[in-house]
Structure 1
Amino acid sequence: MRSLAFNIAYWILSIGYGLTAAFAALAPGRGPTSRVIRAYVRRMVQAMAVFAGIRLDVRGKDRLPDGAFIIASKHQSWGDGFATYDQFDDLAFVTGDHLEKFPLLGGVLKKLGAIVVNSCGGHEARQALATRAAEAKAENRKILIYPEGHLAPVGQKFRYRSGVWHMYRDFDMPVVPLATNLGLFWPEEKYEKHAGTATLEFLDPIPVGLPKDEFLARLEAVVETRTAELIAEATGQPVTPAVLMDTPK
């Protein structure tokens, strides 16, 4: 019943706020659209708690640096974006161009200043990433990116892509790793939801200046290690490292 109740609430909220955001996107400036999306995210997090019984324990916000920075997060759940976006007043985020296929959503993403890139990667994707990231930094906004580029089932991981390093290098922005176990309670894009307390933990920022291989190895190590620990904490099972899987095409 929890899953059914939440999924009904999810679609009511998504359709209602989606249409409102589409109209707000016609107004000048980013403010009206941003306010609608902030309200949508807030209501969705509330719906997670009320209908699905999923509450959030957010740790490590005292570690966040001042000014603009990049949040490089583990991605296990469709709920990750809601949970993270709700922690900030103004957050830019990197997303694949598949979302532009949904009616009206392309205009909303553009008005929000979302960083939309080709899901297949490549030079054009890196160029788009650089251009939109520069705009976000100029506005002193935080940027959310999922380095794996895909939803990873709990206990699995994909190769960390280099796009986050290019932003880190090109714009001298520190990177804050984010570990989570939300996938235990809202697995990927699945229908079923499981009541409990999910944890998001912001980890120590990675300072600017590291070479590519060292940076990516460090980022993956801290995110995956802490994510495995959070999963073990929630399940009462031993800490088990994630298994590397082939990246979906």
Structure 2
Amino acid sequence: MRDTIQWLRSLAFVIQVYLAMAVLGLLFSPWALVSRRGALVACKLYCRWALWTARWMVGIRSELRGNVPHDEVMIAAKHQSFLDILIIFDAVPHPKFIMKRELLWTPFIGIYAKRLGCIPVDRGKRGRAVAKLVQDVAREFREPGQLIIYPQGTRVPPGEYRPYKIGPAILYANLKQPCVPAATNVGLFWPKKGIMRRPGRAVVEFLDPIAPGMDRNAFMREIEIRIETRSNALMREAGFDPETRQWKTPTPGGGRTAAD
């Protein structure tokens, strides 16, 4: 019965959160089309609305840990669901995401992503895609900001493994800026697919920055070890074993509520 109630609450949350995207997208579009600041304000407001309603509608409490980067840096982040995007976007002052090109054709997301300076990637073209990515990032960094890239290139459910791609290392070498790894456990509560949202503490943690100048292979090993180790620790803290992909104890709503 409790699972059914949580699923119905989750359905109501999902409907209203995407409806809010459409309403705010339309409301702010005149400002956003002529000003990057207009797009930024609209998206920040949407993130705060989504995080606030997630807390009281489905019991997801978002928590940010570590030192939030405000300088021009690259953030290499674990990606488990839409929720980690919301938390990071809300946290950093001028976020610019590396995103798959198909999202440019998504209503509202595509228009606002362009205005914010997000960089689309054609994931099917490998070498050419990486070369174009370097060019596009160099162009967009004429405007200050924090570049967010997902080293695994896609959302990865808790407990699954996907290899880390070389893109972050190439950008790290070209930008000559610090890289801030970011770990998360948000997929435990807001999954990659499906309606159900589970109550608990969804954490994004910014880890210690990596200074410029590291060898490419060493850099890739370093970010993978840091991100995976800390993400696994955050999942265990919430009561989920990433090795067995099992919760320690079941709770209402189909998951375990992280301890306060």
TM-score by length of 2: 0.85
Determine the C-alpha separation between the residues in 2 that align with 1:55 and 1:195.
8
Which one of the candidate residues 154, 165, 170 is aligned to 1:166?
Answer: 170
Paired residue secondary structure (2:14) = helix
CA gap of 1:125–1:57, structure 2 versus 1, over 3 A, is same
What is the alpha-carbon distance in structure 2 between the residues aligned to residue 218 and residue 72 of structure 1? 11
The aligned residue for residue 9 of structure 1 is: 16
Q: Which residue of structure 2 lines up, in the alignment, with residue 37 of structure 1? A: 43
Q: What SS class does the counterpart of residue 186 from structure 1 fall into?
A: coil
1:181 offset after TM fit, Å?
0.4
Query: What is the CA-CA distance between 1:24 and the residue it aligns to?
Result: 3.2
TM-score (norm 1): 0.88
Residues 167 and 173 of structure 1 are in contact (CA less than 8 Å); yes or no, is this contact kept in structure 2? no
Whole-angstrom distance in 2 between the partners of 1:131 and 1:117? 11
1:174 is displaced (CA, Å) by 1.0
Aligned to 1:245: none
Match of 2:76 among 72, 75, 92: 72
CA distance in 2, matches of 1:38, 1:144: 16
Shift of 1:116: 0.9
Counting only pairs closer than 5 Å after superposition, residues 197-212 of structure 1 correspond to structure 2 as: 197-212=201-216
How far did residue 111 of structure 1 move?
1.3
> 1:123: how far off?
2.8
Q: 2: CA distance between counterparts of 1:173 and 1:136?
A: 15
Query: Cα distance, 1:85 vs. partner?
Result: 0.5
Kindly state the Cα deviation for residue 149 of structure 1 after the two structures are TM-superposed. 0.6
Q: Does 1:119 align with 2:123?
A: yes
SS in 1 for 2:203: strand
Aligned counterpart in structure 2 of residue 60 of structure 1, from 66, 72, 88:
66
Query: Given residue 114 of structure 1, which amino acid in structure 2 is its aligned partner?
Result: C
Alignment-derived partner of residue 138 in structure 1? 142
Unaligned runs of 5+ in 1: 243-249
Aligned to 2:57: 51
Q: Residue type matched to 2:137 in 1?
A: A
Alpha-carbon distance in 2 for matches of 1:151, 1:221:
18
Residues 115 and 128, structure 1, Cα contact 8 Å, conserved in 2 = no
Query: In the TM superposition, what is the alpha-carbon distance from 1:18 to its structure 2 partner?
Result: 2.5
Q: Where does residue 18 of structure 1 map in the other structure?
A: 25
Identity of aligned residues (%): 32
Once residues 96 and 220 of structure 1 are traced to their aligned partners in structure 2, the CA distance between those partners, rounded to angstroms, is 21
How far apart, in 1, do the equivalents of 2:118 and 2:27 lie?
18
Letter in 2 for 1:97: R
Deviation at 1:101, TM superposition (A): 2.3
Deviations 1:72-91 (Å, cap 9, x if unpaired)? Answer: 11111121100111102211
Partners of 2:182 and 2:76 lie apart in 1 by 6
Q: Take 2:206 and 2:10, find their aligned partners in 1: how far apart are those partners?
A: 28
Deviation at 1:51, TM superposition (A): 1.3
Structure 2: stretches of 5+ with no match in the other structure = 1-7, 246-260
Question: C-alpha separation between the residues in 2 aligned to 1:96 and 1:39?
Answer: 23
Deviation at 1:104, TM superposition (A): 5.0
Give the Cα separation in 2 of the matches to 1:93 and 1:230: 23
CA offsets per residue over residues 53-82 of structure 1, 9 Å max, x none? Answer: 1111211116x4x62101111111121100
For the 8 Å contact 1:187–1:193, the answer to whether it is kept is yes
Question: Pairwise mapping of residues 81-92 of structure 1 onto structure 2 (< 5 A)?
Answer: 81-92=85-96
Give 1:241 deviation, angstroms. Answer: 8.9
Q: Could you tell me which of 151, 154, 162 is aligned with 2:155? A: 151
Please give the per-residue CA displacement for 1:137-186, whole angstroms capped at 9, x wherever unaligned: 33221111111011111101211111111111001011111010001100
Pick one of 236, 240, 244 that aligns with 2:243.
240
Q: What does residue 107 of structure 1 align with?
A: 111
1:121 Cα deviation after fit: 4.6
